[in-house]
Structure 1
């Protein structure tokens, strides 16, 4: 491409220079020849005036007398009436430029000049035009090379950017090239890179969230299956009860997968309902009771009954499961779930008797990759996202002992009677 740009630029420059030079030489040649004729005519008129003046003064008109009035580079022939003609100067051998003038006494003066004077002058013009043309071509070459580099280098760079995007490197470069069209292409590629980067980030975040959200129900499900295995020789009612709980875990796991695949966080208005908060809380207490019992700890539930919350039951259950799993892994002592009302919101508090959140973490405990105890740092971040997607919020009310609170829109049921 660079070569084509240089060749096309030089072709245009050479064409322009050729047309201009030919026109200039033709015009200058005509002007030089016209000036030569006018100069010869002027000399003829001047010499005729000198001859008339000498005749009027009664002086003789001879070659010696007229030599001082004739230019050395001219050939002059003077013919007097009733006398012979005489000539001054050397007669040109090649082509001549001739002018003649007749005086009032009948004298005739003829001036001739060699055409080589015109030829020499035209030659000098040609040399000047050729030199200017060569200088112009040289400058045009430099400009063409610079312009070709200015155009081709950005295109090469844009091609490399597009190749990087295709290979999975979405980092935008935001380069400017000083050419509006190329800058527009660069802007489009940068915007595409940013969109691809956001898409890749969303995909990685979805994968991380999926792995974390699926881990909690799978852990609870495996615990229930272990309970079923341990109680296989017990009463059928016990096995049936454990199997029912395990089936509920499977349904919850299915709900989590569907939410992840359909990105239901952005569709809260389609899935938010009014539900019994106690039912979700008690479900989590029952699901996690066996795990806490195995660790020699207990789970208790207290607070105001009959609270109605607005949101997605599956999302609320996932948030509470995350808090209870964190309390099991990082906390100590009894875990307490307490429901209450705060203004026009219902609140579920989860607390334990462990050391709590490190002072240097504070509210940063909800940030992704922030963890105080060798975990992924995703659990609380995902839980907060789920809570906000349901129109609520998840907060750390107290660091030691730890108290986490899930705030949801809702109301309390009016007491019967």
Structure 2
């Protein structure tokens, strides 16, 4: 912005200087030439007054001494020079003056003024005054140099003023940009400072008000997440303790039910922990630690979901034979993502569901596919709140899966629309593998 302000100011000054300096330069030239002709005419008139009318009969003709750089000469009607300095024979200016006119002309490298000498209504001679054109030209160049110096000075002052004004205008905008960058980097306390420019101050106030509202909104959301999670922890812990105490009872028929309920409670507790981790650590740098073998994770997930699909009369097939046996992944978040994808296939898919794993050397690809056909734009599936037409969903599951995958440095994509296939890509660092 600073450079643009300076360029605009300099361009405006240059246009003004051109519009003023060019006519002024022409005026200087015309004025200096006119002044020199006037000076020659005054000198010639002063000499004509002093000419003795009887100079043709032999009386001396006295001419005043010319100014520096000028020459004066007296010519008779026969164009012969009788006194002073000049060409031996009269030129066109002298011939014109013999007709009773004051002649102004330029002959060769001289400016010439010829004035008639009248006597008894007759022209008895001509006084010719001349000076070199170079003298006037030098004066013109000096005037133009002064004009150029003034123009350069004006341009310099304009540049200095423009740069100062550019700093005044750009500094608050640069400050606002720095604060905006700080906000992008996560500092929601950054606020733009007031400046001396009312319009920019208005933008800064609007920015600060927007940032305050955004910070309050984020604070309320985080407080809600933390409060809800905190309030869920206590009853979940109490439920687990109750179920664990029930396992100590001798009723053999009650024990399987309690074990299944305890497993669900623990799974719900892990879900709350993952939601809290995602809310408190949005950056990929805070990734969960790989803690579970892939084969173990798939077996646990199959046990959890097999009964639900069987209850709906649908088949769930887990292809665990292709899973690497020595690679660990973050069990909690990966299990949550697979749960979201399987629940999505159960609620919105059709036919059998197949889950498999592909080893891509530096990553693992978990595929969950069913026999249905995707009928909407794949990108819309991951928009929070988008549920499709009449499916009864909340529009949160796939968005949560996407965010959980991003927190692990991976991503969830629709790899096929027919049959519908979702793929979870998780990067794997081989140093995390079990040797």
TM-score range, shorter chain: 0.3 to 0.5
Q: Which has the higher helix share?
A: 1
Query: Rg larger in 1 or in 2?
Result: 1
Q: Report the TM-score, using the length of structure 1 for normalisation.
A: 0.45
